[in-house]
Structure 1
Amino acid sequence: MTINEEIKAPLIQNSRVSNSENSTDTERSPIEQVALTVPTTDDPSLPCFTFRTWVLGSLACVVLSFLNQFFWYRKEPLSLTSISAQIAVVPLGHLMASTITERVFFKGRKFEFTLNPGRFNVKEHVLITIFANSGAGNVFSIYLVNAVKLFYKKELNFMVALVVVITSQVMGFGWAGLFRRYLVDPATMWWPQNLVQVSLFRALHEKEERPKGGLTHNQFFLIAFICSFAYYVFPGYIFPMLTSFSWICWTFPTSVLAQQLGSGLHGLGIGALGFDWSSVSSYLGSPLASPWFATANVAVGFALVMYVIIPTAYWLNIYKAKTFPIYSDELFTSTGQSYDVSAIIDPNFHIDIEAYNREGPLYMSTFFAITYGVDFACLAATIVHVFLFHGSEIWQLSKSALQEKKMDVHSRLMRKYKQVPQWWFMCLLLVNIVATICAFQFYTDQLQLPWWGILLACSLALFFTLPVGVITATTNQTPTLNVISEYIIGYLYPGYPVANICFKVYGYISLKQGIAFLQDFKLGHYMKIPPRAMFMAQVLGTIIAAFAHLGTAWWLMDNIPNICDRALLPSDSPWTCPSDHVFYDASVIWGLIGPQRIFGDLGYYSGINWFFLVGAIAPVLVWLAHKALPDRQWIRLITIPVLLGAIIEMPPATAVNYTSWILIGFASGFIAYRYYLNLWSRYNYVLSGALDAGLAFMGVLLYLFLGMENVSLNWWGSDSDGCPLASCPTEQGVVINGCPVL
């Protein structure tokens, strides 16, 4: 069994009977998973872009944009997927269909329309979900806004920020348009992740009778939503310690070593558990949607790094590890004090070399340095793993895509609809590039990146979109170019932090956005949505999401005092912005100071580059073992990019995020799936969406009614970790406020 078959096995088993019985077409997709999951029928008469689509789609996009941006600043951020909206809009759609007037306006004329074209149908639902997808994704360029305004405390006006946000989001349409014929139309480009949503659409729209002694999907969702909504008042307000329950710290309240081991937020997290869904799903997504083999790879990778490599490096004092906290995303001086980044920036927002030499080199916790090393290893491992295990397959798939062969029944069904003209995409791309260059030329003092940097970033995105798209569409793994983009501009244009961020936004994130658009196009392809309706939903959803995300961020920055400033925030404040801190640190390391002075020949951490070699060798060893022992199929399931990529989210993710995620993933993907398959197949994904939605709405209400009024509780349960000594150094003579001097 291949890795992709392992990933989709639960989905296949759940859909095998219903799809084979309902199919009226004898043709099958050459991809078995698609053939067993996606219906091969279409009803072209179903209306798509209706009044309900506009209203519910825009509402879902705005709500998800607001909630995702709102929670992204918090200590335990929550990323709501479109599955929440996909489930929540069903009763609203049926309500609108039953209550809105069916009157036809301008009857008999060219502009004839009605607000209620009949029953709420699946094609409307798909387009609403496409709107929601736009709001569910994080707008990466908001990081740039936060870094400049909150961390560097420099000027960035709203219109400049809006131009960057919109152009970086919409530019992905250009890359998607250029390669859609290669990555959407061919049957071999099957985008495994979409099959989960296809299954959910079928479950929500195919006629369902309440099972004896059971619940329908909508009933179960409502009950789980209410429970999640009510429960979050405890970890979200009354008892924050539920976020990270570290019993070792309670047992040894004066031991630095014990708290380093036991803290789930500032240490290794041994025995730490999170009884808070935001702890579980903040960074790795919902564990209920993870196949067991992938969860097992993440568990092994996390244990290897967190419980073998990090403790070994720390207690051997590699890179002066004991001078700094065992887990930290802060930047330090050689004596363990916080590094004053503002002291090395000149009035032109550029590095002051003389000041940098006076302040001394920048240091990181050994944990932070090793996570960068693991990023390097993961990048190399992804390339080697894909070449060894999927090289011939991807080559054949790429050739079939380029030659337009193996067009399946779904592609033939889609040919009856008007396609989106190529010039729509090209015009959108060219207008975006020109607008971006003009904006950067006009606001050079705020954005720093010269015009050639924009063109180089676009060239990087153009070059990598097809290979990355082929890998994602066939293996469900997306290689990251984050480090490559930072490395390139860091060497070519050092000393300019905002330029580094902008290059990363347009070189990497526009590509990532293009891949997301292609995935949505394939979802519409499977559900037989007219391409022009898909295009309109994506463009409008992206623009709405850009305004909503930026508006939410601007509102929070103006209304929450000292947001993201850990030195000035109260100790129990949730507004610590962990992801933005890591992004800011990266802009200092790669942009302001530059990779040559950190990881290059002038840097203290040049040895970290050996991780590239480690990452390249590891998949070769697995491949050789698989060839030597072909009957041991479990060897092939050792996926080094997933294993090494397990801790890519650390920091800002913490140990408790992983331990809780792994345990829930084991309970769902192994125990429930293996021993309670019927319950798992009916309720697993619905439960995930309900938990996300309930937590989100209660979190917003707590802030609006209590947080804005500064109503807080102050008791021992308010401490979100209970491990105050976990961040203390253990090197003799290092003086840190609140820590014992050894």
Structure 2
Amino acid sequence: MTSTQEVPARQDSASIDDVEKKDVQTSSDEKLGYVETADSVPADNESEQLRLKEVEDLEARLAAGTADDEEYFVRNAHDIAIKVLSTRDDYELPVLTFRMLFLGLGFSAFGSVLAQLYYFKPQTLLVSQGFLLIMLYFFGKAWEKVLPSRGFWWHINPGPFNIKEHCSALIMASTASSSATAIQVISVQNLYYNNNLNPGIAIFTLLGSQLIGYSFAGFLTEALVYPSITFWPTAISPANLFQALHFDGGLSSKRTKLFWLVFTTIFCYEIIPQWIFPLMTGFSIFCLADNTSEVFRNVFGGASNNEGMGLFAFCFDWNLIGSACLYTPLWTQLNQNIGICLTYCLMSAMYYGNIWQGRRFPFMSQAIFDINGNQYNQSAILTNNKFDQAKFEAIGPAYFAASNALYFITANLAMGATLLKPFVRALNPWNKTVTIVHDEHYIVMKRYEKVPRWWFVALLVAAYAMAQATDYTGDSHFTWWQLTVVLIISLVFTMAYCTTSAILGFAQFSTQLDGFYSMIASYMVPGDPIANMYAALYGSQPTVQGILLLGDLKLGQYIKIPPKINFLVQILGCVVGALLNYVMELSIVRNQRAALLTIAGTRLWSGQNAQSFNSNAIAWGALGREMFSPGKTYYMVPVALALGALMPIPHYFLHRKFPKNQFLANFNTGIVMQYSCFLSVGINSSVNTSTFLGIMSQWWVRRKYPRWFTKYNYIIAGSLDGGTQVISFILNLAIFGAAGPTVFFPNWWGNDFSLSADRCAPPPDL
């Protein structure tokens, strides 16, 4: 059979620990029949059944604790698939039940309404998948216990709430539980350009922009869902949690007991750093020594938004740390860490070297400024919502904070450096080297019918028609050919970023994509901020949706959800989310318009997200040529895209010269560049803690304690996130102002309102 190391060297970063790669697989892989040959892929049902039998025997030994340490050791993507997760499929379990549809649609409505409320709140909160998973489990088990299940009631309550119902309901709810990018376009047009879209146009804009991403992802399923190498690290933790809750025998199993113990502990603990003792969100010894120094704040601070880079700071708030460090592959994290080290150097050099007159502006900010350091008067340069050259000359040029300009450059370098080699190699019909090996989860799933390819073709045709129709009827200023060009570019980058997400657990930042497509539109539709917003919408949304769809398809493969049901629940979630996103947006904008248009907002309502999206459209749409053309201040931003495409070339030749060098084999230029200005926005105090925990988990614990890692690492990741997200949801509703007035904990040394959370000098209030 084919080895799990069948991919080219450039893809080796998918391995968990390539430092330990050998020419021949270890004994545990040999026991499973994984010998390093490229011409022995099983071609008949008997050999596939033999593979499944061997894996089931291994799983039984792992569960019983009779396997040796070598068998527990997780070395690569295939090991995670068969050692951390079970291939078990209870084929007879009902999936498309009234209970699943009711809970899925109910939590889809709940999640989409909540996400839209949070979009217009002073504190933006995401409705997380972990939170929905836990809440669905509580409600599903309560449904199972409370309602009768005999006779007619069996259709309402068909026995125990099973893993397939649970996972299907979660996929539906999580699909709906976000504020779509189209909502930003709709709300900004309403608030700032007096363009109230017809309800039908608005809803079809929402649906079209999201369904295009689903159709793109459908064409990538064969390459990015079925193979072992595309193991989707983000899907491992929820899949592991599903199996622990439903397969481990209830509360009597060790894993389930550990899950609820950690869940309860972190639930109680998180009240302290999030409310009582905010200093725990960022402990900086430098700021404790001197809380008046701006240099200390910029370099060592990072516990408040846009405060500093957080060098040598440590965080004790899991809400900021998150579980990505526990499941992201080691080499992916190491590439990210290299980029973060570059961040410290580059951001400091740009600011203190006064590049682009950076000392005139804040160290970190996403606003646009005039030459005097004041916020730029954006509305004064527009006439009929389009750029007016005469007005611009009267007001003068606009500037970014140096760190924000650096972010645009490194984002374009990263996009240029992103390679499509894994995807092209997998689907190239002239390529004779076997690079795709389907693991045992895929073999089990072969009993279910696949989604026909023509479904995705039909979906793309319908979504494209919606987009074209709404562009012209919605006064977008975006023509048919401009939309088509943007979608073609979006397809290319959807392939690229879905590949990196599937193999490396690395996804793009949505702001990076918005900026890239805004840049493209500034040349296609110069001087028009509205058209610029639509370019960002139809460029970035398909990639974001494609990653979500493929990740959920992989989760469905791990849990053995029939593909057609998986497709159905995702489409239902998308439709419900779009409808309720729009209804809530319409209501909030109509009733809170005055508050949303003010800079500060109120305690309950804020238009900060819409304002930020509009500022981006102004910078690229109206001022694009004045800021980014050759000879202008930020001309290096578009040039960086071409430079980024050249950056991997030296690494390629070095790797060809030294093919056995593990650092060169796993170095990823795109990830390093992506993280080379990672700290230019937001709260950064968690970076060092996350780095430490990631190395401890993915290197030290995995190598020294393989039994513990295989059985408990991912379940702990899920419990930490679950407990944190549930208490964060409660705190945001009850205390932090998401559903009422903010309740501040009394002022004391660990919660000093006159300083940043880490007791650094507060950043300037702009």
Q: What TM-score range do you get, normalising by the shorter chain? A: 0.7 to 0.9
Q: Does 1:655 align with 2:679?
A: no
AA of the residue aligned to 1:442: T
What TM-score comes out, normalization by structure 2 length? 0.78
Match of 1:488 among 520, 523, 529: 520
AA of the residue aligned to 2:465: V
Match of 1:352 among 388, 393, 397: 388
1:647 to 1:542, Cα distance in 2 relative to 1, 3 A: farther
Q: Does 1:55 align with 2:102?
A: yes
Deviation at 1:718, TM superposition (A): 3.2
- Name 1:172's counterpart in structure 2: 213
- Name 1:430's counterpart in structure 2: 461
AA of the residue aligned to 2:51: E
Runs of at least 5 residues in structure 1 that lack an aligned partner in the other structure: 107-112, 729-736
Deviation at 1:137, TM superposition (A): 5.1
Deviation at 1:104, TM superposition (A): 3.7
Distance between the aligned counterparts of 1:375 and 1:545, measured in 2? 30
Q: Does 1:279 align with 2:320?
A: yes
- Name 2:49's counterpart in structure 1: 25
- Name 2:669's counterpart in structure 1: 640
Q: Does 1:372 align with 2:408?
A: yes
Distance between the aligned counterparts of 1:724 and 1:558, measured in 2? 40
Distance between the aligned counterparts of 2:126 and 2:739, measured in 1? 20
Distance between the aligned counterparts of 1:234 and 1:38, measured in 2? 34
- Name 2:728's counterpart in structure 1: 695
AA of the residue aligned to 1:207: D
Q: Does 1:4 align with 2:19?
A: no
Equivalences for 1:711-730 in 2 at 5 Å?
Answer: 711-712=743-744, 715=747, 717-719=752-754, 721=756, 727=763
Distance between the aligned counterparts of 2:715 and 2:132, measured in 1? 18
The answer on whether the counterparts of 1:84 and 1:693 sit within 8 Å (CA) in structure 2 is yes
AA of the residue aligned to 2:100: T
Distance between the aligned counterparts of 2:19 and 2:722, measured in 1? 21
1:301 to 1:574, Cα distance in 2 relative to 1, 3 A: farther
- Name 1:541's counterpart in structure 2: 573
Deviation at 1:642, TM superposition (A): 1.9
The answer on whether the counterparts of 2:350 and 2:402 sit within 8 Å (CA) in structure 1 is yes
1:726 to 1:602, Cα distance in 2 relative to 1, 3 A: farther
Task: String of CA shifts for 1:388-436, please: whole Å, max 9, x gaps.
Answer: xx588546699589x9986666556545444444454444333333333
Distance between the aligned counterparts of 2:196 and 2:705, measured in 1? 54
The answer on whether the counterparts of 2:215 and 2:456 sit within 8 Å (CA) in structure 1 is yes
Match of 1:299 among 323, 337, 342: 337
- Name 2:60's counterpart in structure 1: none
Distance between the aligned counterparts of 1:489 and 1:633, measured in 2? 40
Task: String of CA shifts for 1:210-258, please: whole Å, max 9, x gaps.
Answer: 68xxx74444444444444444545555555554455544543444333
The answer on whether the counterparts of 2:417 and 2:670 sit within 8 Å (CA) in structure 1 is yes
The answer on whether the counterparts of 1:229 and 1:697 sit within 8 Å (CA) in structure 2 is no
AA of the residue aligned to 2:577: A
User: SS at 1:54's partner residue?
Assistant: helix
1:68 to 1:674, Cα distance in 2 relative to 1, 3 A: farther
> Percent identity at matched positions?
23
AA of the residue aligned to 1:374: T
- Name 2:618's counterpart in structure 1: 588
Distance between the aligned counterparts of 1:279 and 1:413, measured in 2? 38
- Name 1:110's counterpart in structure 2: none
- Name 2:488's counterpart in structure 1: 459
- Name 1:325's counterpart in structure 2: 362
Q: Does 1:684 align with 2:684?
A: no
Deviation at 1:500, TM superposition (A): 1.3
1:345 to 1:127, Cα distance in 2 relative to 1, 3 A: same
AA of the residue aligned to 1:26: L
Q: Does 1:261 align with 2:299?
A: yes
- Name 2:130's counterpart in structure 1: 83
Task: String of CA shifts for 1:484-526, please: whole Å, max 9, x gaps.
Answer: 4323222010122121121222233124313432332333234
The answer on whether the counterparts of 1:24 and 1:41 sit within 8 Å (CA) in structure 2 is no
Task: String of CA shifts for 1:414-465, please: whole Å, max 9, x gaps.
Answer: 4544444445444433333333333332221xx3323433333333344555
Distance between the aligned counterparts of 2:82 and 2:308, measured in 1? 47
Deviation at 1:680, TM superposition (A): 3.1
Task: String of CA shifts for 1:517-556, please: whole Å, max 9, x gaps.
Answer: 2332333234332232222211111122234444555666
1:170 to 1:665, Cα distance in 2 relative to 1, 3 A: same
Runs of at least 5 residues in structure 2 that lack an aligned partner in the other structure: 6-11, 34-46, 56-75
The answer on whether the counterparts of 2:271 and 2:727 sit within 8 Å (CA) in structure 1 is no
Deviation at 1:83, TM superposition (A): 3.3
The answer on whether the counterparts of 1:47 and 1:124 sit within 8 Å (CA) in structure 2 is yes
Distance between the aligned counterparts of 1:7 and 1:575, measured in 2? 47
- Name 1:140's counterpart in structure 2: 181
AA of the residue aligned to 1:362: A
The answer on whether the counterparts of 2:205 and 2:466 sit within 8 Å (CA) in structure 1 is no
RMSD: 4.3
User: SS at 1:439's partner residue?
Assistant: helix
- Name 1:97's counterpart in structure 2: 144
Distance between the aligned counterparts of 2:592 and 2:637, measured in 1? 38
Deviation at 1:89, TM superposition (A): 2.8
Q: Does 1:498 align with 2:536?
A: no
User: SS at 1:123's partner residue?
Assistant: helix
Q: Does 1:343 align with 2:380?
A: yes
1:368 to 1:404, Cα distance in 2 relative to 1, 3 A: closer
Deviation at 1:630, TM superposition (A): 4.2
Distance between the aligned counterparts of 2:533 and 2:523, measured in 1? 14
Task: String of CA shifts for 1:49-85, please: whole Å, max 9, x gaps.
Answer: 1122123223443444455555556677554542333
Q: Does 1:525 align with 2:535?
A: no
1:275 to 1:70, Cα distance in 2 relative to 1, 3 A: farther
Distance between the aligned counterparts of 1:696 and 1:411, measured in 2? 36
AA of the residue aligned to 2:350: A
- Name 2:470's counterpart in structure 1: 439
The answer on whether the counterparts of 1:123 and 1:527 sit within 8 Å (CA) in structure 2 is yes
Distance between the aligned counterparts of 1:143 and 1:312, measured in 2? 34
Task: String of CA shifts for 1:72-124, please: whole Å, max 9, x gaps.
Answer: 56677554542333344334323322332224449xxxxxx711222222221
1:647 to 1:181, Cα distance in 2 relative to 1, 3 A: same
Deviation at 1:35, TM superposition (A): 5.0
AA of the residue aligned to 2:301: S
Equivalences for 1:393-432 in 2 at 5 Å?
Answer: 393-394=425-426, 413-432=444-463
1:547 to 1:185, Cα distance in 2 relative to 1, 3 A: same
Deviation at 1:274, TM superposition (A): 4.1
Distance between the aligned counterparts of 2:735 and 2:668, measured in 1? 41
Distance between the aligned counterparts of 2:733 and 2:429, measured in 1? 46
1:258 to 1:507, Cα distance in 2 relative to 1, 3 A: closer
Distance between the aligned counterparts of 2:121 and 2:263, measured in 1? 22
- Paired residues in the alignment total 700
1:697 to 1:522, Cα distance in 2 relative to 1, 3 A: same
User: SS at 1:321's partner residue?
Assistant: helix
The answer on whether the counterparts of 2:529 and 2:617 sit within 8 Å (CA) in structure 1 is yes
The answer on whether the counterparts of 1:19 and 1:39 sit within 8 Å (CA) in structure 2 is no
Task: String of CA shifts for 1:623-662, please: whole Å, max 9, x gaps.
Answer: 4444444444234333222222125655543432534543
Deviation at 1:335, TM superposition (A): 1.5
Q: In terms of mean alpha carbon deviation, does 667-676 or 267-276 score higher?
A: 667-676
The answer on whether the counterparts of 1:122 and 1:201 sit within 8 Å (CA) in structure 2 is yes
